[in-house]
Every structure is written in structure tokens, then in C-alpha cells.
Amino acid sequence: GQQVMQIPQYQHVQEGEDFTTYCNSSTTLSNIQWYKQRPGGHPVFLIQLVKSGEVKKQKRLTFQFGEAKKNSSLHITATQTTDVGTYFCAGNFGNEKLTFGTGTRLTIIP
């Protein structure tokens, strides 16, 4: 079946350190989206990547889509306490639904 694997499951970092989460699909994706879920909240859309090799930045966040459109990454530079939460990638295989990764829970050590 169509699955999206995401690693790591958990990441604990000191405030100011960088953080990266990775997603991989066994088949080519039409696009990949990233969401953030704060503790106790609901997922909120961050960004969508569509083109092969695409790189997008949002302040300290950098999103990449692989050349083969099978993998993606989210990198946060110099983490802050406001970055706490679970980051999900969600792949679209060209149909009406998204397949979410298992998420990476980020905790920040002040």
C-alpha cells in the first residue's frame, strides 16, 4: 500500500540547536505537505511542495522535496521553545486524500 514513513519519532534538543525530520515514500508523490500540531491542538498547515527538488523557506524552517519526489525533510535552525510540537509530513499520491507520516515529536530543553 501507499505509505509515508517519518523519522525520528521523537527528538529532544537543547534550545538553540537545529532539528530535522525526514519523510520517505516507496512510490512517487504528487506533492507533500507539512503540518505542525501543538500539544493539545489540531494540525496546522505549514507548507506544500510540488516540484522535484523544490526548496522552500519560512524564517528558520527549511523544507525540501527530493529529486525523485519520494522523500522530504523539514529542518529548523536554532530551535526556540515556540517550536515545540509534533511535525507531520503528508503525502499525496494523486488522489483525493493525504497519507500522513507518523510524526516527529519535538521537545525543547531550555
Partner 1 sequence: SQTIHQWPATLVQPVGSPLSLECTVEGTSNPNLYWYRQAAGRGLQLLFYSVGIGQISSEVPQNLSASRPQDRQFILSSKKLLLSDSGFYLCAWVSGRGTDTQYFGPGTRLTVL
**From 20, 48, 62, 107, residue interacting with partner 1 (rule: CB under 8 A):** 48
- 59 part of the interface to partner 1, by CB under 8 A: no
Site for partner 1 in 63-102 (CB under 8 A): 88, 90, 92, 94-102
Cα–Cα separations (whole angstroms), residue 24 to 68, 71, 93: 11, 4, 13
- 1 part of the interface to partner 1, by CB under 8 A: no
- 25 part of the interface to partner 1, by CB under 8 A: no
- 2 part of the interface to partner 1, by CB under 8 A: no
Let me know: does 64 contact 73? Beta carbons within 8 Å.
yes
Place of cell 524564517: 59
Let me know: does 102 contact 24? Beta carbons within 8 Å.
no
Please give the grid coordinates belonging to residue 90: 503528508
Minimum CB separation of residue 17 from partner 1 in Å reads 23
Nearer to partner 1 (CB atom), residue 18 or residue 52:
52
Provide the phi-psi class of 85: left if phi over 0, else alpha when psi is between -120 and 50, else beta.
left
Site residues for partner 1 per CB under 8 A: 30-31, 33, 35, 42-45, 48, 88, 90, 92, 94-103, 105
